[in-house]
Structure 1
Amino acid sequence: MDTSPRETPVPDGSNPLRSLSLEQLRKRTSMKWRTYPDDVLPLWVAEMDVPLAEPVARAITDAVALGDTGYPAGTGYAEALAEFASKRWGWDGLAVERTAIVPDVMLGVVEMLKLVSGPGDPVIVNSPVYPPFYQFVGNMGRPIVEAPLGPDFRIDFAALEEAFGRAVKGGARPVYLLCSPHNPTGTVHTATELADAARLARTYGVRVVADEIHAPLLAGGVRFVPYLTVPGAENGLSLMSASKAWNLAGLKAALAVAGPGASDDLARIPEEVSHGPSHVGVLAHTAALRDGGDWLDSLLAGLDDNRRLLADLLAEHLPAVRCEPAQGTYLAWLDCRALDLSGDPATVFLERGRVALNSGTGFGTGGAGFVRMNLATSPELITEAVRRMTVALLDGGGAAQHTGGAPALQPEQ
């Protein structure tokens, strides 16, 4: 069983992030490429600029050739996830019988919250955090209680305990919605941190639902620990998917996984929820987990290169923009507060630089003054994005904060 981190670099020729030109990408009709005009570089929503992994493409085309486009059935997806979890994370306890297919991770979160809480019950989150947490939870009539991360973007356990204490008042049934790995910061929680969170949740009677969609996306040398593997997490629930790691957002399918103490809860999920996932999506996700490991390793090596590239470019051209290299995800969380801008940095970079990034304000407390950048693209487009961001500041948005004028970087390709 291979549980060691990746150490061997993958040759550039196999890097899926270098496979597509900007011209090819602009032919796509998805949200990333159709929300903004063609003069904008889109480095915002979580879509990757990659071709499909060959085993995934083959699974889809084989299904189409057979007309195999009906309703999902069977446990192949869960079996593939269990095999992947054993090989990649050393988790041999993912029980197929304690899983359920759901349309996607966020709709799975909704279903898990329905199982263990009711309208009016609080949901605790570690802000700044993925904006749909606020949107979906709010639409369910459940108030959000924030437990902000510490300055190092790790769980602040004093803040978490205080939030738990507030949430349980009045007989509520609160839920801790854990983002692991964390979006947008890229923090990968350690086994100790997760066990401490589980212990605290047990003490206060808080149920835990973990969004682990970014679990396969780790920087070199970083280890992911599934929440359900730590002591005290037996009554936890997790949502997992191949969506982020293999760029399958348009092929809806995810899995809810229950700890042994939550199997009765998961058994109460309505049967009709299993009708929501796409059958072709289930086939694609299964193929990714089962046969897409080599492609994933090539992607991860390319993401490591892109993190280093971004750090070098910022240090040289935008030193006032701070960014801690992420341990996971393909996202970069850029601290622009020292730029002394008159408005939201995402707006400045879009309007003056024609680079689309996610504004930090939507991520809750701690997000103001930050932007989120999607690094799952070519090095050339990252380089061009930093060039445009630098020019945007030269044009009046904090010119004193960078050096040497507009950098002589490579043009977009």
Structure 2
Amino acid sequence: MTHAEPLDSLRRRTSEKWTEHPSDVLPMFVAEMDYPLARAIAEALHAAVERSDTGYVNPRDTGAAEAFAGFARDAWGWSPDPALFGITTDVSVVIVETLRRLSAPGDGVIITPPVYPPFFDLIPEAGARVVEVPLLDDGSTYALDLAGIDRALAAGARGVLLCNPHNPLGLVHTRGELEELARIVERHGAFVVSDEIHAPLVHPGVEFTPYLTVSDAAREHAIAAESGSKAFNLAGLKAAFIVPASERMADVVRGLPDEVTFRTGLFGLMATRAGFADSREWLADTLAAITANVDLLERLLASELPLARLRRPSASYLAWIDLSAYGWGDDPAQHILEHARVALSNGPTFGREGVGHVRLNLACSPELLTEAITRIAALTRP
């Protein structure tokens, strides 16, 4: 099982997670892991520095794409064609650049809140318009509101920005849901951009379905955004894949400006290749650490914050927690930061459905997680 680095070592990092707040704050907000890099990734980057290999990417080098395709084949039974992949800096750029080519100015693009906050900004950046179709919530489970998506497309929306798996819930959409979504989208002549950045972090025993595998229709109308940045903690190295699975969508990728490709980080591609090709054991050990922390969080909430509501995630290292019963306002993360010195992600930024909620990063040591919940629980006592 992977172990988080000691707190004094983590505080020497210069990323946002460790420099945004004063040193008395426990940072558990932004989606960065506290684990050390996989050895194969660290060795690949050290070797590149030793040979001063710090230039531009070669877009014809498909080594990273082939490594991802091999991982997808072994993990999900999917064999995307690396020759069709585009590369760029990150999944957000995949979303913006594909939306610019799949939608016209002012077109409606559906999102399903509570959802990754930048979705609310990426769609307008591409010139389109946000259409919200919140997830269905029956009090115990979340699901896509397929009938609501159907109505929104019938009313004129032109596409769906899918979060698969879903951030912040760690929700893994079923194959049946995705097959029906594909039928609905096809019936309306619309498109899908599927953000699958958290897919390699699906928990053991849970089946992930890449959207491009569900039907011929899905392959004709969709593009997937894939990356190793969440799975291997590589966000600062800047590399992601734009993945089509039909000639129609491959033409969309080929039509992207050259600079979309050349802004990709060379170190990002090196690290991505080393991750998907040579770091699968590290990933499995990391998922073991994450799921152990989910178990721990459930126990801590039951004993220390019994009014909190957590629905166990099936993917990633993020926990979506309803704290509304404690009366800490619409944005309990702000109250917790001020009074408990724990930094969590603010629920309302994920949409109106996030009022009273927080998102907590579980990719940390059990000791840090325990300290965070202990600090928060102290706010409930006189």
TM-score of the superposed pair, with normalisation by structure 1? 0.89
2 CA distance for matches of 1:29 and 1:306? 25
1:280 aligns to 2:264 (yes or no): no
Query: SS of the counterpart of 1:366?
Result: helix
1 CA distance for matches of 2:155 and 2:47? 53
One of 166, 175, 178 as aligned partner of 1:182? 166
One of 363, 374, 380 as aligned partner of 2:361? 374
1:126 aligns to 2:107 (yes or no): no
Q: Which residue of 1 aligns with 2:179?
A: 195
Give the residue type in structure 1 aligned to 2:374. R
1:97 aligns to 2:76 (yes or no): no
2 CA distance for matches of 1:75 and 1:276? 16
2 CA distance for matches of 1:375 and 1:102? 28
2 CA distance for matches of 1:136 and 1:157? 23
Q: Is the 8 A contact 1:115 1:266 kept in 2?
A: no
1:244 aligns to 2:233 (yes or no): no
Give the residue type in structure 1 aligned to 2:274. A
| 1:285-344 per-position Cα deviation (integer Å, ceiling 9, x unaligned) | 111010010000000011110000000110111111000110001100001122223452
2 CA distance for matches of 1:157 and 1:197? 7
1:300 aligns to 2:287 (yes or no): yes
Q: Which runs of 5+ in 1 are unaligned?
A: 1-14, 169-173, 396-413
Q: Which residue of 2 aligns with 1:160?
A: 149
Shift of 1:143: 1.2
Shift of 1:19: 3.8
Q: Which residue of 1 aligns with 2:29?
A: 44
Q: Is the 8 A contact 2:105 2:128 kept in 1?
A: yes
1:349 aligns to 2:341 (yes or no): no
Q: Which residue of 2 aligns with 1:410?
A: none
Q: Is the 8 A contact 2:153 2:159 kept in 1?
A: no
Q: Which residue of 2 aligns with 1:22?
A: 7
Q: Is the 8 A contact 2:116 2:350 kept in 1?
A: yes
Q: Which residue of 1 aligns with 2:69?
A: 82
Q: Is the 8 A contact 1:47 1:247 kept in 2?
A: yes
Q: Which residue of 1 aligns with 2:17?
A: 32
1:327 aligns to 2:311 (yes or no): no
Shift of 1:136: 1.8
1:266 aligns to 2:244 (yes or no): no
Q: Is the 8 A contact 2:87 2:261 kept in 1?
A: yes
Give the residue type in structure 1 aligned to 2:149. L
Q: Which residue of 2 aligns with 1:309?
A: 296
1:256 aligns to 2:245 (yes or no): no
Q: Which residue of 2 aligns with 1:406?
A: none
2 CA distance for matches of 1:233 and 1:342? 41
1 CA distance for matches of 2:233 and 2:332? 27
Aligned residues: 374
Give the residue type in structure 2 aligned to 1:255. F
Q: Is the 8 A contact 2:56 2:265 kept in 1?
A: yes
Task: Using the aligned pairs only, state the percent identity.
Answer: 45
2 CA distance for matches of 1:373 and 1:162? 33
Q: Which residue of 1 aligns with 2:212?
A: 228
Query: SS of the counterpart of 1:148?
Result: coil
Q: Is the 8 A contact 2:330 2:355 kept in 1?
A: no
Segment drifting more, 149-158 vs 282-291: 149-158
- Runs of 4 or more off by more than 6 Å in structure 1? none
| 1:162-199 per-position Cα deviation (integer Å, ceiling 9, x unaligned) | 2222234xxxxx22100000000110011111111111
2 CA distance for matches of 1:378 and 1:349? 20
Q: Which residue of 1 aligns with 2:348?
A: 361
1 CA distance for matches of 2:277 and 2:126? 35
| 1:14-51 per-position Cα deviation (integer Å, ceiling 9, x unaligned) | x32x2411111111111001001111100000000011
Q: Which residue of 1 aligns with 2:130?
A: 144
Structure 1's 393 and 273: CA in aligned 2 closer, same or farther, altered over 3 A?
A: same
Structure 1's 121 and 291: CA in aligned 2 closer, same or farther, altered over 3 A?
A: same
Shift of 1:141: 2.9
Q: Is the 8 A contact 1:145 1:167 kept in 2?
A: no
Give the residue type in structure 2 aligned to 1:37. P
2 CA distance for matches of 1:359 and 1:114? 29
Query: SS of the counterpart of 2:171?
Result: coil
Q: Is the 8 A contact 2:97 2:126 kept in 1?
A: no
Q: Is the 8 A contact 1:239 1:255 kept in 2?
A: yes
Q: Is the 8 A contact 2:64 2:273 kept in 1?
A: yes
Q: Which residue of 2 aligns with 1:117?
A: 103
